[in-house]
Structure 1
Amino acid sequence: MTQRKGEKPTISIQEHMAIDVCPGPIQPIKQISDYFPRYPRGLPPTAPQPVGHAGPLRSALSTPAAAEPDVEGYDSDDSSECFISYCISFSSCMFHCRSASGLKPMDHNGLSDPYVKLHLLPGASKANKLRTKTLHNTLNPVWSETLTYYGITDEDMVRKTLRISVCDEDKFRHNEFIGETRIPLKKLKPNQVKNFNNCLEKQLPVSAYLKHAEQGEDKSLEERGRIMISLKYNTQKSCLVVGIIRCAHLAAMDANGFSDPYVKTYLKPDENKKSKHKTAVKKKTLNPEFNEEFCYDIKYADLTKKTLEVTVWDYDIGKSNDFIGGVSLGINANGERLKHWFDCLKNKDKKIERWHTLTNELPGSVND
């Protein structure tokens, strides 16, 4: 085909179609989407879900690795799934985090560096917060990690809520929130494993789900940790045996985020030195184990007139030791503290163990 001078070149319809479909000499014209890809590398497009859809995603164990979520328009806050199983046993809450799937991409590479953070609410202590290890570059993490809260009391089972958050770790910025779910401890039963498959939700203010739990709570007392105490009246030796077993989730008093705790016991109203005892100091821990016992020579009938004060301190070299928290057991106590004392009186020669909550109330007669 010849072309006259001055005429515009013409292209047949067959040649025009060949531009986009034929791999011949004529190269296909690049689309703008080739320069600005819609999906990050490794994330193929998927069919969009209807708005408001909050059904559970597929399990990470049964989902092919290639079936990753669509980044654009994807809202993991409504559909991400964290598989959780935990049990209550021997006054401890064991949280076993298995996996999560379909998490929202938080990094530029279209992936995340997720970890799980636990917060036992209400409670502002650093030791109330636990977390798993961080898994890098994944939207379907498998942690298979167990975290344990010690010192869970019957009162906690009624009013406490376990907040489970999934976050993205960032080395150069603040860690980013992905989603959360909440489990009231009253849904659990002692010595029973209960499994959960929960969808992550958008972050809610703490007050939204703690309003009822905090009603009637004494705001002047701050929770500073837990202590396990054993009581036994030895009829053969006519003495009260007080055991300081362990503490859990103590408030951090040192700049390194830990404490160097020890425990003091005081049987009031006696003023002599025999009424006061002290454990050894445990270095750099918020969950110390003591396993020490102290004996108070006392007649059984006199126990109804006594009060046992137990205080926990942070040891500091060269300056005054810091008060962490305390608890009083006796006829003037109430709740679990009163019940523990009476159980000891009713069950001679039997060791009675209980967890008790430490508060920031310092007994006026106790001096470090």
Structure 2
Amino acid sequence: MSSASGTGNPTDKLDFTGLPPDSLHIYNEAALGTLEFELRYERSSSELHCTVLRAKGLKPMDFNGLSDPYVKLHLLPGACKANKLKTKTIRNSLNPVWNETLTYVGITEEDMHRRTLRLTVCDEDKLTHNELIGESRVPLKRVKPDQTKHFHTCLEHPPPMPSPTAMGEALRGISCYLREWENEQLHSLEERGRLLLSLQFLPPLSLEDKDVEGGGGGEGRRSGGLCVGVKRCAHLAAMDVNGFSDPYVKIYLKPDIQKKSKHKTTVMKKTLNPEFNEEFFYEIPLAELANKTLEVTVWDYDLGRSNDFIGGVSLSCHSQGDALRHWMDCLKNKGRRVERWHILTNELPQTLSHD
């Protein structure tokens, strides 16, 4: 975890210079408060650390003229349940101090270029629904790897959702933009969490290697094949009423005519961030592997009824993006273990078995 130290780091400071007095007065009347926090992306571990430091001058939300504030983090675009983190609640304060570090794992460099971190300050209310005080959004491309960046921002009202009629008027004639917007919304709905996989193609042992390993007996020696390591998942979608899941992972190597390629991990109870650290081996020549598809799915175990599909990913020469890069890196680097995080989507593969 990174500490809340920003000495010597670049700082985004508030700047009210140049504003006319009337504008400043209007701003002060509508002020929601300010939020101070730090972001640090650790490239080697694929972790994004957000240290929520403090807020000042928050808008009072309770009858006593105070608030019970906490901060929610949400990566955009992305499914809400799969990547939402929150701080503790500070009672009866308009100037809360958290000094709390929240960490996202499985964040790739591609994420840092295309995603935005939304920080929402809310007032907790035990009798009614929690109220939103204000928010701040930071494009992650502003954070350089392995450097702590300090932010001190004004909280803002969330952007209003336009009505379909107004939206149609505003976007009339720019169908390309609308298609991109719709694709982004679709992508944000599809993401169900992250999965860390390792792939390693192990070449067959030569006769000399077998003699060294086993004294020349020849029995039980390894042929060439694919070693699949299911490491861990992060920020899975919650499938149970308790806000958690009981996840396990299934893998298939297709086509699988004889239906012998299925492997399953153990079930991890009540967690959205399970660690499996299990490996499975497929005995197969490299030439045949180039025509195969590795299908990996994550499920929520339910006793006495059908298990719930959480998300999955398919890796082959016909995949795209990170899945294709991971598969090709494995095939091109015999003997080397290659690890990569993958985004789980809600697209259910052809395998419909729930066992």
Query: Does TM, scored on the shorter chain, surpass 0.5?
Result: yes
What is the rounded CA distance, in whole Å, between the counterparts of 1:74 and 1:351 in structure 2? 58
**1:272 corresponds to 2:258:** yes
What is the rounded CA distance, in whole Å, between the counterparts of 2:313 and 2:186 in structure 1? 17
Question: 1:206: how far off?
Answer: 6.8
Question: 1:289: how far off?
Answer: 0.8
SS of the equivalent of 1:197 reads strand
1:234 is aligned to: 202
**1:293 corresponds to 2:279:** yes
Question: 1:296: how far off?
Answer: 0.7
What is the rounded CA distance, in whole Å, between the counterparts of 1:261 and 1:206 in structure 2? 35
- Structure 2 unmatched ranges of 5 or more: 1-19, 168-176, 206-221
Question: 1:179: how far off?
Answer: 1.2
- In 2 relative to 1, CA 219–106 (structure 1 residues): closer, same or farther, beyond 3 Å? closer
SS of the equivalent of 2:49 reads strand
- Out of 132, 135, 140, the position equivalent to 1:177 is 132
1:355 is aligned to: 341
Question: 1:256: how far off?
Answer: 1.2
Residues 262-341 of structure 1: pairs in structure 2 closer than 5 A: 262-341=248-327
- In 2 relative to 1, CA 218–116 (structure 1 residues): closer, same or farther, beyond 3 Å? closer
Task: Check whether the contact 1:125–1:224 (CA below 8 A) recurs between aligned residues.
Answer: no
- In 2 relative to 1, CA 362–295 (structure 1 residues): closer, same or farther, beyond 3 Å? same
Question: How large is the RMSD of aligned CA atoms in angstroms?
Answer: 2.5
**1:104 corresponds to 2:75:** no
Residues 122-137 of structure 1: pairs in structure 2 closer than 5 A: 122-137=77-92
Task: Check whether the contact 2:67–2:93 (CA below 8 A) recurs between aligned residues.
Answer: yes
Residues 2-17 of structure 1: pairs in structure 2 closer than 5 A: none
1:52 is aligned to: 23
Question: 1:122: how far off?
Answer: 1.6
**1:192 corresponds to 2:144:** no
Task: Check whether the contact 1:224–1:325 (CA below 8 A) recurs between aligned residues.
Answer: yes
What is the rounded CA distance, in whole Å, between the counterparts of 1:88 and 1:272 in structure 2? 45
- Structure 1 unmatched ranges of 5 or more: 1-48, 57-72
Task: Check whether the contact 1:252–1:286 (CA below 8 A) recurs between aligned residues.
Answer: yes
Question: 1:98: how far off?
Answer: 0.7
How many pairs does the alignment contain? 301
Question: Which deviates the most, 213-222 or 101-110?
Answer: 213-222
What is the rounded CA distance, in whole Å, between the counterparts of 2:184 and 2:155 in structure 1? 29
- Report Cα offsets for 1:48-71 as digits up to 9, x if no partner: x94432999xxxxxxxxxxxxxxx
Question: 1:215: how far off?
Answer: 5.9
**1:85 corresponds to 2:45:** no
Question: 1:356: how far off?
Answer: 0.6
What is the rounded CA distance, in whole Å, between the counterparts of 2:317 and 2:274 in structure 1? 28
**1:223 corresponds to 2:188:** no
- In 2 relative to 1, CA 354–55 (structure 1 residues): closer, same or farther, beyond 3 Å? farther
Q: TM-score, normalised by structure 1?
A: 0.76
1:155 is aligned to: 110
Question: 1:110: how far off?
Answer: 1.9
**1:260 corresponds to 2:271:** no
1:138 is aligned to: 93
SS of the equivalent of 1:137 reads coil
2:30 is aligned to: 75
SS of the equivalent of 2:331 reads helix
Task: Check whether the contact 2:51–2:100 (CA below 8 A) recurs between aligned residues.
Answer: yes
Task: Check whether the contact 1:74–1:104 (CA below 8 A) recurs between aligned residues.
Answer: no
What is the rounded CA distance, in whole Å, between the counterparts of 1:156 and 1:112 in structure 2? 34
Task: Check whether the contact 2:250–2:265 (CA below 8 A) recurs between aligned residues.
Answer: yes
- In 2 relative to 1, CA 87–213 (structure 1 residues): closer, same or farther, beyond 3 Å? farther
SS of the equivalent of 1:52 reads helix
Question: 1:319: how far off?
Answer: 0.8
What is the rounded CA distance, in whole Å, between the counterparts of 1:264 and 1:106 in structure 2? 47
1:246 is aligned to: 232
Q: TM-score, normalised by structure 2?
A: 0.79
What is the rounded CA distance, in whole Å, between the counterparts of 1:124 and 1:279 in structure 2? 25
SS of the equivalent of 2:322 reads helix
Higher helix share: 2
Residues 11-30 of structure 1: pairs in structure 2 closer than 5 A: none
SS of the equivalent of 1:115 reads strand
SS of the equivalent of 1:311 reads strand
Task: Check whether the contact 1:125–1:249 (CA below 8 A) recurs between aligned residues.
Answer: no
Question: 1:213: how far off?
Answer: 7.4
- Report Cα offsets for 1:172-220 as digits up to 9, x if no partner: 1221211111011122222222111111112224789x98974644838
SS of the equivalent of 1:284 reads coil
Percent of residue pairs identical: 60
Question: 1:118: how far off?
Answer: 0.9
